[in-house]
Amino acid sequence: MNHRWTFVARSIVLALAFSAVGCDKSQPPPPEHTQAAADAALKVDNGQTGTVQASGSSALQPLVNAAKEQYEARNKGVSVEVSAGGSKKGLADVAAGAVQIGDSDIFAPEDLKGQLVDHKVAVVGFAAMANKGAFNEKIPAISLLDLAKVFSGTVTDWKQLGGAPQPIIVINRAPGSGTRAVFGSLVLGGDKFVESQTEDNSGALVTKLKQTKGAISYLALSFADPELRVFGLKTDAGVVDPGTATITAGTYPIWSYEHMYTKGQPPPLAKQFLDYVLSPDFQEHTLPNVKGFIPVTQMKVSRDKD
């Protein structure tokens, strides 16, 4: 009997070890701070304690985490809990009162607009990105119309865009994704994506794009990568590459606000955190160092829907 029980015990330990590995959710990469910005930051400790809870967009999470670190360092006793489960979940959570702040890449839908207060904290650009290959090396840019055709499934070969013959494999984000909602609305005029392979996570999508010959998808610019082909837009006035300058000037149209919604006016602690995120200190010193984010204040154009 001894041996058998020892073996069972060993197996259980082994299984637990494996499941522990399985459960280890990797945290998103920490934002890059500059020491100068941290030093320049104001000290606003006023002895308050409590918890601020935020949930929603995974695209916005790196920025909220950056704000959380600095805010917590300055307000001992206050903790900010950030969880990511998609923009639509963030909107649902804050509307239901489950969290104080709902992070979202998209404007709240009409039925929630009445009860939610919008706080625009940043701007993020999006672009079509593809697997790199000889089949698309002669395509520096794609027009909005052609992008719509690619992602709705009418254009199915790189040849039709001016490249070499190679089938286009569209990879989508999952329907709850804010990136999908924004790209669909700005490029396709709604969720008219062809039904295809789906990744529910931007990081996994990058890996998949690198692996799959002929693949194309859409990502926030923070995920741009030298091993991916990032397409500019072909317009009548020439090629417009996605970037801070073209987005703030309004010439590159595929961008969205990053929203932090509250239900009505935020409670004191959540308001203080939001005030910090919108403060010149954070907006001018920390935010530009978090890859892919643009301060709202730099925008020369604005919009009130996606």
Partner 1 sequence: MGQSATIVDPTETVAERSQFVMGSRFGEAVVRVLLTTCGVFVVLTTVTMIGFLAHAGLRGMAMAGIGDLLTGRVWKPEADSYGGFALIVGTFTSASGALLLGAVPAVLAAVWLTEFAPPSIKVAERRVLEVASAIPSVVYGWLALVYLVPIVFSVAHWLRGADAAVTGEGLASASILLGVMVAPTVMLLSLDALSRVPRALRDASAALGASPWQTAFQVSVPYAWRGLLIAVFFGFARAAGETMAVQMVIGGARRLPKDFLFSPTTTISAQIVMDMQEARPGTLQNDVLFSMALVLLLVSVVVVLATRLLGRQRLS
When binding is defined by CB under 8 A, the residue of 3, 25, 43, 305 that contacts partner 1 is 3
Q: Is 86 in the site for partner 1 (CB under 8 A)?
A: yes
Strand partners, 261: 102
Task: Tell me phi and psi for residue 170, to 5 degrees.
Answer: -80, 130
Cβ atoms of 261 and 118 within 8 Å: the answer is yes
Closest to partner 1 by CB, 14 vs 40, is 14
Site residues for partner 1, window 5-34 (CB under 8 A)? Answer: 7, 11, 14-15, 18-19, 21-22
Q: Is 45 in the site for partner 1 (CB under 8 A)?
A: no
The Cα 161–Cα 52 span in angstroms is 48
Question: Which CB sits closer to partner 1, 66 or 82?
Answer: 82
> Which of 17, 239 has the CB closer to partner 1?
17
CB nearer to partner 1: give 10 or 76.
10
92 binds partner 1 (CB under 8 A): yes
For 220, the enclosing helix (H) or strand (E) is strand 215-220
185 binds partner 1 per the rule CB under 8 A: no
d(CA 25, CA 98): 22
Which window, 56-64, 88-96, 239-247, 249-257, contacts partner 1 (CB under 8 A)? 88-96
Candidate residues 143, 152, 160, 166; the one interacting with partner 1 per rule CB under 8 A? 166
Residue whose tokens read 């990511």: 84
User: Distance (Å, rounded) from C-alpha 95 to C-alpha 272?
Assistant: 20
DSSP string over 19-72: HHHHH-PPPPPPPPP-HHHHHHSPP------EEEEEEE-TTTHHHHHHHHHHHH
Query: Which residues in this chain contact partner 1 in the complex, by CB under 8 A?
Result: 1-4, 7, 11, 14-15, 18-19, 21-22, 85-86, 88-89, 92, 96, 156, 165-169, 174-176, 191, 195-200, 211-214
